[in-house]
Amino acid sequence: MKSCLPVRAFLTLCLGALALAAAQPAAAQLQTPDRRVPSANDLRLSYAPVVKHVAPAVVNVYAARVVRNRNPFFDDPVFRRFFGVPDGAGGSQIQRALGSGVIVDPSGLIVTNVHVIEGADEIKVALPDKREFEATVVLKDQRTDLAVLRIKHDNDRFPFLELGNSDALEVGDVVLAVGNPFGVGQTVTHGIVSALARTDVGSSNYQFFIQTDAAINPGNSGGALVDLDGKLIGINNMILSRSGGSQGIGFAIPSNMVRVVVASAKSGGSAVRRPWLGATLQTVTPDIADSMSLKRPSGALISSIMRDGPAARAGLKVGDVIVSIDGQEVDDSNTFDYRFATKPLGGSAKLGVIRAGRDMVSNIALETAPDSPRDEITIQSRSPLSGAKVANLSPALADELQLKNIDQGVVILETDNGSYASNLGFQRGDVIEEVNGTHIAKTRDLESATKTPNRAWRIVIVRRGQKISAMFGG
């Protein structure tokens, strides 16, 4: 019986052979850093070659914001005098957030998550080579939870990652996650693509995620998910966990969605330009499939159509079920939203539709929603809406905020931390209809209606399709 070579000795021989082979090129070639993306054969013993290619482009993102802990009663001079509260009381504190980001352009464009830098007064990024820079926000896209930053610098060139094609991924592909978990410093983990097209698992409007078992932890948000070609195929976004740490269920935003956001940032836009359907959709459930005699519960059902929008001009009708787009299957409304949003503007797309049990094809134009001057203002006068940033609605803004069946009026974009509006529960997407009986059609109407001091306020808003009337003071 022949004896087997010990494993350690075998590995030593293999590594020795690799070292001997590496010593063969000419001396001049050895002096040139190898930035070649490694092949699969290179990675049989180590992921180090792809990590060396990727790591320089993954940065730490530090965001700081000042939070004012101010009780609204402190604004009342009688209250301050009676209780002996000095001017300026209430204080403030600095909150810091830590996340990751990926440089996607040599000029210093960085992609991260909106939730990493939300509300930040100051943003800094730290590169793996120990350099630190201030960064500014170029674009925030709440719908995808993606933000684009720009490094403040003097004509430097930065290492960057090329965007891969996330639609080419398959379940079982090996991937690496790179980020800064728990603030310990740049960390690399590996795993596989566990699932594709995961929907209904996140808080963004586009629910279409890559699932991976590569360890992702707090601080990894905004970091890179890369394939073995060293290309960025996802931005790490969230985890499902009972403990708060990685339990092997992590989710990344596909690179094809990242590409759309980056393209809008590069074009100088402050908002992402994407195709507009001009219709609202709902997922086909088993009950809907039975009632419509569909073969299986799959597709996106058109529940309403906007007049003169792309869907209306394409001849689509309420009750049509969209089952494919340009030959790609549509399982539910989230799948359609993602596929449609990642189509390039201009030209058209072919929608596979089922109408009254019959298959048909409809060509729909890939165009943006019409916009108009938003006239954004922040309410400064003392009222329940003080600190609310508002804008005039348009089809484009309604689509951005995912408001259904309403594209006129005044909508809240955000509320300042610690403001009356924030403390009283007003939210992004609330449409303000009335203030003390005055109809609000434009932002200037709201500004005028809130200037007059009142002891009691009656404000009517529309939130997620429901009308709410609230009383304050009195």
Active site residues: 115, 145, 221
* DSSP annotation of 308: T
DSSP line for 77-137: HHHHHHHTPPTTTT-EEEEEEEEEEEEEETTTEEEEEHHHHTT-SEEEEE-TTS-EEEEEE
Show the tokens assigned to 144: 């995808």
DSSP line for 344-375: PSSSEEEEEEEETTEEEEEEEE--PPP-----
* Nearest alpha-carbon partner for 350 in 337, 331, 365, 332: 365
Q: Position of tokens 């009676």?
A: 82
Alpha carbon distance 310, 397 (integer Å): 16
Alpha carbon distance 213, 284 (integer Å): 30
Alpha carbon distance 243, 181 (integer Å): 15
The number of C-alpha atoms within 13 Å of 331 and in the hemisphere containing its C-beta is 10
Quick one: angle between helices 333-341 and 255-266, nearest 10? 40
CB atoms within 10 A of CB 386: 21
Contact 31, 56 (CB under 8 A): no
Show the tokens assigned to 355: 């109408």
How many residues are there in the chain?
Answer: 474
* Nearest alpha-carbon partner for 65 in 124, 7, 107, 14: 124
CA R_g for the chain: 27
Show the tokens assigned to 402: 């995912």
